Chain A
Amino acid sequence: MTKQVQQLDRVIIRFAGDSGDGMQLTGDRFTAGTAEFGNDLSTLPNFPAEIRAPAGTLPGVSSFQLHFADHDILTPGDAPNVLVAMNPAALKANLSDLPRGADIIANIDEFTKRNLQKVGYEVSPLEDDSLSEWRVHAVPLTSLTVKALEGFALSKKDAERSKNMFALGLLSWLYHRPTEATIKFLETKFAKKPDIAKANIAAFQAGWNYGETTESFSVSYEIKPAKLAPGVYRNISGNQALAYGLIAGSVQSRLPLFLGSYPITPASDILHELSKHKRFGIRTFQAEDEIAGVGAALGAAFGGALGVTTTSGPGVALKAETVGLAVTTELPLIVVDVQRAGPSTGMPTKTEQTDLLMAMYGRNGESPLPIVAPSTPSDCFDAAVEAVRIAVKYRTPVMLLSDGYLANGSEPWKLPDAADLPDISIEFATGPNSDDGVTFLPFKRDAETLARPWAIPGTAGLEHRIGGIEKAENTGNISYDPNNHDRMVRVRQAKIDGIATDIPPLTVDDPDGEARVLVLGWGSTYGPIAAAVRRIRRSGGKVAQAHLRHLNPLPANTGEVLRAYDKVLLPEINLGQLALLLRARFLVDIISYNRVRGLPFKAEELAGVIQDVIDSE
């Protein structure tokens, strides 16, 4: 039987199954194969907060969406072309996202009466007409896997567990993915259990062979590698890039990294990753709670380390008092907030941008601090290095605002050469700094940066005491003097404001310079906005795009940029937090577009909104 091979420029696949089915693993491996093949890609894992909800139920459905293409892409895709549904719950949970005509690969073995009843199907949708608007491939995945593993000494249950590898093999054939890396991965993962390795590889190959021989799949698809900029690439998730960026920040500042942290979704991976790299002199401390985590980091900073803490929204709320102490003692500290849906416990595994105002103002008193927000998974690396640069140069806590979508999403990352990274080291104070040549003044500021000297314990002659009480200029002694307090509040503010001269201006992408509408964004909305802007321009429309990386201080030309356009549209996954700040500061009538669904925006959705703004009076 001759099979056709079709060329596609892009594919969006969504793998969906029980949390225990290994959908994340399957998605990860398919992604790795795709990255290796050279497509540009973007991923969106979507999983429940619970460790393992009851099998076959809707709350237990875990999914992994991968968008890959022969050209540069920006989002994990608005909607999948292919849904791999490992059970009825996975089908039901994801059907509403599937456009007409999309492919469904369903594991028919799991469409049992019991499983169907669990999610409210009276009759199997694979047997009635209900799925007629999609192309359904019913594959007996489980039984085929068990059959393929007959020769192995495995229980039926263990054999069934390998069905995700069968699915991976089938999908790998269908989309011409390379197989060597997956086989090597399985061999390494199960190095201590070679029989399990062989079984998984057999299941993988059986899936591949099934695709190749069965008539249900008469077409396979080729998606050529993308022409990305020359260089060495690896696929990376936001959390891993952020961890690497912190390590790079430590190396480039020549300060030993001390992480004080507490496990919290979706930031725990950063703690895990950093704890693996003790060869860099990194001390990772899993504290008893969020407050102890940031407290230990601050104590380490007092001693001359690069103090870092990592958390999500609820943790930032707990850390507020300690961060305020860092503000007033003017010590470097990195606070990483991987934002998730709130309020309170919210939706731990869903993404949101709702901590901006808390980052700006969530401490008692006038307590300003710089805020940096990455825009893509790989940008998390650069944003982390930038956060370290600012913290160390200005002696201030810095908030690094990532989010769950960036944290768990992945994309190819063009690796920097370590030799090209900036030197961001500073000098500790070594001697007296007052006019008499004898006294050390812990709060005498640098004329340019307004930073105070960083004198660490162990330095003879510079003994001094710092604390949370208001302090006098220069000496740092406790002071309740009214005029001193007003001056100190203003100088702490001026120190942060002054960083605006030390960060790049806001750049605007406006190819022909004729756009009258500007779409502005911050954080992870970059990809969806850029994809939407592409669509507008492809259909002949004109629109400008700008994206903020520094939220505090804002780039010096921000006001100028906003005022240069008739209309400014600002999509945010919150109820308009940046819009509130910009309106108040620049008196510009920003148009907000807000959805707080725990998911990234869709390109098509934003394109529609942009078009409406362009068309409106």
Chain B
Amino acid sequence: MKDFKTDQEVRWCPGCGDYAILAAVQSFVPELGLKRENMVFVSGIGCSSRFPYYMDTYGFHSIHGRAPAIATGLAASRPDLSVWVITGDGDALSIGGNHLIHALRRNVNLNILLFNNRIYGLTKGQYSPTSEVGKITKSTPMGSLDKPFNPISLAIGAEASFVARTIDSDRKHLQSVLREAAEHRGTSLVEIYQNCNIFNDDAFEPLKDPEQRDDITLRLEHGQPIASASKAVRRAADGGIEVVPRSAVSEEEILVHDAHRTDPSLAFALSRLDEPAFQHVPIGVFRSVDRPSYDELMAEQLQEAVGERGPGDLNDLLLGGDTWRIS
């Protein structure tokens, strides 16, 4: 089994959720059967973005928010590569928001891993676009005023063809989501709930607490009913969906997950089940649909152009206008 560790000393804080994600990725990647030299990790800026230095593949630690754009240029011109974007809630949803939504709508062949710790860790504790309203941080001593983004809803709204959520502490789930993401051709967005134990410890504690997690985690699996140990999702009277006690419904009433639906409305509705108190949280693959990836579409046009008039010739190009000769 190939070892993807590098010789660099890992510098995340002891107890950081990133270690678990790194270990999960390092042990999962050999399964893909890809050549090391054909893998590239592109990151932005943030604790998440130190990731490429710890993977023995090609890597590009770029600038804040711009990784999806840089990776787009690479993926669109090198369809032979497996390109991964490592980003965070600040990098991807604040400064990088614009590049993220455009990469998603273009369906560039990328695997985007968004480490969401709901805080700015590297710059030491300011609030992020996924922090809850009223959060008290260094830049918001009286509490944050901003309503947070829901990254899953945003991605679905941006026409994403693959959207999933997982959590740093559940290696098995993380790896199964990564597997599906890697198999999907086009942009795969995976939000990973990640714990920053220094600046925002226990942000996802209910999902990890053995007393609560089985009740609040709604596992999404295509073809399976959407339910936790004690709750279930069903169609509501108003035409939407709702979460009710499992005891209140029959098995047939429980909504069965369909990740491959062309219409994203149901996936979107599932993403809206999130609420601040973590009473119920859907995790897993919300949506996975097939549409042509950007590099395929670009390559098609290049082939079509050559097919019509043959490959380009420089002399023909130069002589192509109205020319005249002076003797």
Q: Which of B38-92 contact A (CB under 8 A)?
A: 38-42, 52-53, 55-63, 66, 69-78, 80-81
Q: Does B99 contact A (CB under 8 A)?
A: yes
A467 vs B39: C-alpha distance in the bound complex, in angstroms?
Answer: 16
Check A458 against B78 for contact (C-beta < 8 Å): yes
Please name the residue on chain B nearest to A414 by beta carbon: B326
Please name the residue on chain B nearest to A236 by beta carbon: B321
Check B69 against A281 for contact (C-beta < 8 Å): no
- Among the stretches B255-263, B277-285, B298-306, the one at the interface with A is B298-306
- Among the stretches B160-168, B184-192, B237-245, B312-320, the one at the interface with A is B312-320
Question: Chain B residues with Cβ under 8 A from A231's Cβ?
Answer: 325-326
A280 vs B52: C-alpha distance in the bound complex, in angstroms?
Answer: 34
Question: Chain A residues with Cβ under 8 A from B39's Cβ?
Answer: 457
Q: Using an 8 Å CB-CB cutoff, how does the interface string of A451-478 with B read, 1 for contact, 0 for none?
A: 0000001111111111111000000011
Q: Does B212 contact A (CB under 8 A)?
A: no
A466 vs B74: C-alpha distance in the bound complex, in angstroms?
Answer: 14
A38 vs B325: C-alpha distance in the bound complex, in angstroms?
Answer: 9
The smallest beta-carbon distance between B59 and chain A, in angstroms, is: 3
A254 vs B98: C-alpha distance in the bound complex, in angstroms?
Answer: 33
Question: Chain A residues with Cβ under 8 A from B310's Cβ?
Answer: 279
Question: Chain A residues with Cβ under 8 A from B37's Cβ?
Answer: 457-463
Q: Does A299 contact B (CB under 8 A)?
A: yes
Check A307 against B73 for contact (C-beta < 8 Å): yes
Q: Which of B57, B71, B298, B312 contacts A277 (CB 8 A)?
A: B312
The smallest beta-carbon distance between B179 and chain A, in angstroms, is: 22
The smallest beta-carbon distance between B65 and chain A, in angstroms, is: 9
Question: Chain B residues with Cβ under 8 A from A466's Cβ?
Answer: 59-61
Q: Which of B38, B41, B59 contacts A458 (CB 8 A)?
A: B38
Please name the residue on chain A nearest to B295 by beta carbon: A283
Once A279-B312, A295-B99, A457-B40 are accepted as A-B contacts, the answer to whether A232 and B70 lie under 8 Å apart by CB is: no
Q: Which of A13-68 contact B (CB under 8 A)?
A: 32, 35-36, 38
Check B315 against A285 for contact (C-beta < 8 Å): no
Check B77 against A305 for contact (C-beta < 8 Å): yes
Question: Chain A residues with Cβ under 8 A from B57's Cβ?
Answer: 463
A108 vs B67: C-alpha distance in the bound complex, in angstroms?
Answer: 60
Please name the residue on chain B nearest to A416 by beta carbon: B318
Check A251 against B314 for contact (C-beta < 8 Å): yes
The smallest beta-carbon distance between B139 and chain A, in angstroms, is: 22
Once A277-B317, A477-B8 are accepted as A-B contacts, the answer to whether A292 and B99 lie under 8 Å apart by CB is: yes
Check A234 against B66 for contact (C-beta < 8 Å): no
Question: Chain A residues with Cβ under 8 A from B247's Cβ?
Answer: none
Check A418 against B315 for contact (C-beta < 8 Å): yes
Check B59 against A298 for contact (C-beta < 8 Å): no
Question: Chain B residues with Cβ under 8 A from A181's Cβ?
Answer: 322
Question: Chain A residues with Cβ under 8 A from B6's Cβ?
Answer: 465
- Chain A at the B interface: SS class: mixed
Check B326 against A280 for contact (C-beta < 8 Å): no
Q: Does A394 contact B (CB under 8 A)?
A: no
A464 vs B325: C-alpha distance in the bound complex, in angstroms?
Answer: 53
Q: Which of A222-256 contact B (CB under 8 A)?
A: 227-236, 244, 247-248, 251, 256
Question: Chain B residues with Cβ under 8 A from A129's Cβ?
Answer: none
Check A235 against B322 for contact (C-beta < 8 Å): yes
Check A288 against B98 for contact (C-beta < 8 Å): yes
Q: Which of B55, B323, B327 contacts A234 (CB 8 A)?
A: B323
Check A289 against B61 for contact (C-beta < 8 Å): no
A462 vs B37: C-alpha distance in the bound complex, in angstroms?
Answer: 8
A297 vs B74: C-alpha distance in the bound complex, in angstroms?
Answer: 8
Check B60 against A299 for contact (C-beta < 8 Å): yes
Question: Chain B residues with Cβ under 8 A from A297's Cβ?
Answer: 73
Q: Which of A35, A460, A465 contacts B59 (CB 8 A)?
A: A465
Question: Chain B residues with Cβ under 8 A from A227's Cβ?
Answer: 326
Check B58 against A278 for contact (C-beta < 8 Å): no
Check A35 against B324 for contact (C-beta < 8 Å): yes
Q: Does A321 contact B (CB under 8 A)?
A: yes
Please name the residue on chain B nearest to A252 by beta carbon: B314
Question: Chain A residues with Cβ under 8 A from B318's Cβ?
Answer: 234, 244, 415-416, 418
Q: Does A380 contact B (CB under 8 A)?
A: no
Question: Chain B residues with Cβ under 8 A from A511's Cβ?
Answer: none
Q: Does B102 contact A (CB under 8 A)?
A: yes
Check A283 against B302 for contact (C-beta < 8 Å): yes
Q: Which of A36, A230, A282, A321 contacts B63 (CB 8 A)?
A: A321
Q: Does B35 contact A (CB under 8 A)?
A: yes
Question: Chain A residues with Cβ under 8 A from B70's Cβ?
Answer: 295-296, 298-299, 302
Check B63 against A465 for contact (C-beta < 8 Å): no
The smallest beta-carbon distance between B306 and chain A, in angstroms, is: 5
Q: Which of B42, B58, B75, B322 contacts A36 (CB 8 A)?
A: B322
Question: Chain B residues with Cβ under 8 A from A287's Cβ?
Answer: 69, 72, 102
Check B60 against A302 for contact (C-beta < 8 Å): yes
Q: Which of B18-49 contact A (CB under 8 A)?
A: 35-42
Check A299 against B71 for contact (C-beta < 8 Å): yes
* Residue contacts A-B, CB under 8 angstroms, 18 given: A234-B322, A234-B323, A251-B314, A278-B302, A278-B306, A282-B302, A283-B298, A295-B72, A299-B73, A325-B63, A415-B319, A415-B323, A463-B56, A465-B55, A466-B60, A467-B59, A477-B8, A478-B53
For the complex of A and B, the 10 pairs showing the least CB-CB separation, nearest first, are A467-B61, A296-B73, A299-B73, A280-B312, A295-B69, A465-B59, A278-B305, A299-B70, A292-B69, A279-B312
Q: Apart from A32-B322, A244-B317, A457-B74, what are 6 other A-B pairs with CB-CB below 8 Å?
A: A181-B322, A278-B304, A300-B73, A457-B78, A459-B37, A463-B58
Q: Could you list which residues of chain B lie within 8 angstroms of chain A, going by C-beta atoms?
A: 6, 8, 35-42, 52-53, 55-63, 66, 69-78, 80-81, 98-99, 102, 298, 301-302, 304-306, 309-315, 317-319, 321-327
